[in-house]
Each structure stands twice: as structure tokens, then as C-alpha cells.
A and B are shown apart, each in its own frame.
Chain A
Amino acid sequence: MHSALVRVQNVFGFFTTVAFTVAAVIALSTFINPQFPSASVQLRNVQVVRGRPHYYSYKKEEYAHIKFDLDTDLSTLFNWNTKQVFLYLKAIYPSTRASEPASEAIIWDAIIPAASAPWHQNHYIHPNPKKSQTKSKAKPKKNDKAAKKPSEELLYKRGELHLNNQRPKYQITDISGKLQNRTDVVLELGWNVQPWVGALVWANKVDFGVWEGLKGGVSPKFSFPEIGGKKKTEDLGTEKGKEGHRLVVGEEVPIRKDRG
């Protein structure tokens, strides 16, 4: 410690030790935070359609389009060390050969930020069931910063989701390209808790100390129907063709008639 340079090195060296130790203690402190997640997943509608993986493909594959209800309370996953929770819904169906493990495919996911996380465009915004489905004509201006910021008042508690008749984000297909008439399909909820410091934690069903395993989170078994067949008669909710559009003289944008 005789010269300034040596003192700089000593102080910085001990600082790294302290920083690592504090980070380790913070990572361990999450284990004394009790958590008891619960979830309920229900199938709403499933349809299998034939399509191409991309426009110029000669191969045709079968795609499943699964709509679901999800009610979950993951608010206890958010402690002081949580940055965000990556939530996903898997469709799991057994393989055609008994020796092979079941196939899993994600049909929907969401990034749920903690309160301490800075705003990001990929963060999940819970759909508001009270708002009407039709989009309002008055779009927010691009330089309006207040419109871009997330509204501070959340619809539900942080980590609580109530999705009704939710459309999937991803249509899934099998490696064989065949998906119709497959049985014993279930939907299962999973997540990753991404902390500020420490290890990535996955969803699990077992109790660990004050951490309780996930209650529920698996839907009843169902089957993929035949192509063209529907499990329940319901509109897929996809966009209709151009018949709703009218070009009006003097108007720049086509007016869309109410889809009803």
C-alpha cells in the first residue's frame, strides 16, 4: 500500500470480492421468499389445417391451431431479484413410436417484466377484456412519448393472467408433417424466472423448501381433429379477406367495415 497505484489495485481487488459475495448472497436470498404459483389451462378450440412452411415449399404440412383459456397467478414468482418471467404454453403429444419421447411444441409465450425492469417493447401487455375488439381510429402520434410508456396501473396483479379464448402465437406442426388424429394431447404451462443475479429457474411441480411446486397448469387430454373438422364450432378469429374494404374517393386509407 506504499504508493497510489498499489492502493488502487488493492481497493479494486477487494471490491470485486465484496461485489461477488453480495451477488451470491442476493442470489441465495430468493430461496427464503415463499412462492406458490397456480394455473389452470383449458382448451377452447383446436383445428388442423394443411399448409406450406413457406411460400415456395413443395412440401405440405399439417398445422394445428389451438385456442385456449389460461388463468394463472404467478405473482409470488416476483421477488426483489426477479428481472422477468418468460411464460410459455406447450402442447405435448406422444410420439407415434412408443420408444420415442413425447413431442413438445410451444404455442404461446409472453415475457412478464418485474417492476424493477426497464421498459421494453417485447414485454407482455395483458389484453383488456373490457375494451372493444375493434381498434380505435385515432392512432397515437409517433412523437407522443406518453403513449409509448406503459400505463402504470396494471389490469391485474403483476404475474396474474386471465386469458379468455386466447389465440396461439405459433401454429405447430410435427417433424413428420402429420398432425391430424393424434390423441392424448395436453397443454402445459411452463416458465423461466430470470433473476437479476443468480441462476435461471424453471417451472417445477415439486415443493422445495418454502417454494411450492406449480398447482395445476395442465389441461385435460384432447385430440387433434381431422383436417377440416372442428372440435367445437367456432370462428378461428383470423382476418377475413378484402371484402370488408372499400376505397372511398378522397380517402387515403381504405375504410374497413365492421367485421361484425
Chain B
Amino acid sequence: MADQLLEQVRDAVEGQIDFEGQRLAELITTVLLGASGIIAFFVGFMAQDIKLALYIGLAGTAVTFVAVVPPWPFYNKNPEPWLPPHTGAVSGIQIDVDGKKVG
């Protein structure tokens, strides 16, 4: 019971996403943060208000954190197909570990 709970908590904290999701997260980070920096400067410069620039930059960063850090479902749309689990006698699959046959 406790182990199961712990396992669930660990999964939630780790928040793993698949490979395509990782590529997407990287892209979203770059685009959102870069855009918020550029917008912050230009809006601040137009309004001649440096605090506005600061707040736009910080807001953009907060949005990026929310968008990227939690394992949103759209980061897990391409799960990797794993090999089927096998028990006992292996059928046709040879696994070598350090030259020794395993399984």
C-alpha cells in the first residue's frame, strides 16, 4: 500500500514524457522565452517604461514554466512501443550481456 502510494508520488514528481514530447518541450521553451524577451523589450521601449518590460519578461517566463514543466498529455502522445514482456523460455530472441547469454 505504502509502496504503491510512493510509486504514484514518484511518477507524478518525475513527470516523464516521451521522446517526441521532449523535442516539443525544447521547442516551446525556446520560442516562448525568446518571444517574451523580444516583446518585453519592444513594448517597454515603445512605452518608455522599464518596469513594463520587466513585468512582461517575468510573465512570459511564468507562462513558459507552466507550459513546459508539468507532464501535459500532449507531451505523451507518441509512446515508445516496448518489446513484449517474456517469461521463461525465450522464443527467437537472443540477448547478450558482456558476451554471456541472458534470459
Contact = CB atoms under 8 A, between A and B. Distances in A.
A30 to B, nearest CB: 11
Contacts of A196: 50
B49 A18 contact: no
Interface in A79-121: 79-81, 116
B55 to A, nearest CB: 12
Contacts of B70: 4
Interface residues of B, number: 32
A80 B46 CA distance: 10
B15 A4 contact: yes
A1 B25 contact: yes
Given A2-B22, A4-B69, A80 B49 contact: yes
B39 to A, nearest CB: 10
A2 B33 contact: no
A4 B26 CA distance: 13
A80 B51 CA distance: 9
Contacts of A15: 33, 61, 64
B66 to A, nearest CB: 10
A1 B29 CA distance: 11
Interface string B38-53: 0011001100111101
Contacts of B57: 18-19, 22
Nearest to B46: A80
B50 A80 contact: yes
Interface string A3-47: 111011011001100110110011001000000000000000000
A25 B22 CA distance: 31
Given A4-B13, A4-B69, A26 B33 contact: no
Given A15-B64, A29-B45, A81-B50, A7 B69 contact: yes
Contacts of A81: 50
A1 B41 contact: no
A3 B25 CA distance: 11
B25 A26 contact: no
Say what secondary structure dominates the interface of chain A.
helix
Contacts of A5: 14
B60 to A, nearest CB: 8
Contact of B37 (A3, A8, A18, A116): A18
B53 to A, nearest CB: 7
A80 B48 contact: yes
A198 B25 CA distance: 33
Given A21-B37, A26-B41, A11 B50 contact: no
Which of B26, B30, B37, B51 has the most C-beta atoms of chain A within 10 angstroms of its own C-beta? Answer: B37
Nearest to B65: A11
Contacts of B25: 1, 7
Contacts of B44: 26, 80
B103 interface: no
Contacts of B40: 22
Given A11-B68, A18-B36, A3 B53 contact: no
B3 to A, nearest CB: 20
Nearest to B44: A80
A197 B41 CA distance: 13
Interface of B: 13-17, 21-22, 25-26, 29-30, 33-34, 36-37, 40-41, 44-45, 48-51, 53, 57, 61, 64-65, 68-71
